[in-house]
Amino acid sequence: MSTGAAAEQAKTLGQKTYEKTCIYCHEAGIGPELKGRQLPPEFFAIIVRSGLRAMPAFPQTHISDATLKELGQYLSTSPARVPASATIK
């Protein structure tokens, strides 16, 4: 198994969901930063289901309750993201 395939397999469902659905707005400066805020998983579930301002609501047909629970757990325990510009010297 290649290193890339092993790394992909090690990702949690929450991380995969974040990278598939959330990252495009929340790491592009469109939506607020989600990682590193230690918000409870329930907070994310409420916002995802209800929507808030520019963020649309995502129904159960798009993100299941089980996946949403994993996503909330992933975000509530993730460290703050280090922007790419901060790593360039």
Identify whether 86 is a catalytic site residue: no
Per-residue model confidence (pLDDT) at position 30: 93
Q: pLDDT-derived band of residue 77, with 50, 70 and 90 as boundaries? A: very high
Q: Is the pTM of this model over 0.95?
A: no
Q: Is 1 a catalytic residue?
A: no
pLDDT for residue 3: 64
Catalytic, out of 54, 66, 84, 86: 54
Say if CB 29 and CB 53 are below 8 A apart.
no
The residue-averaged pLDDT of 18-40 equals 95
Query: Is residue 89 pLDDT above 60, yes or no?
Result: no
- Tell me the CA distances in angstroms from 85 to 82, 88, 89, one per residue in order: 8, 5, 8
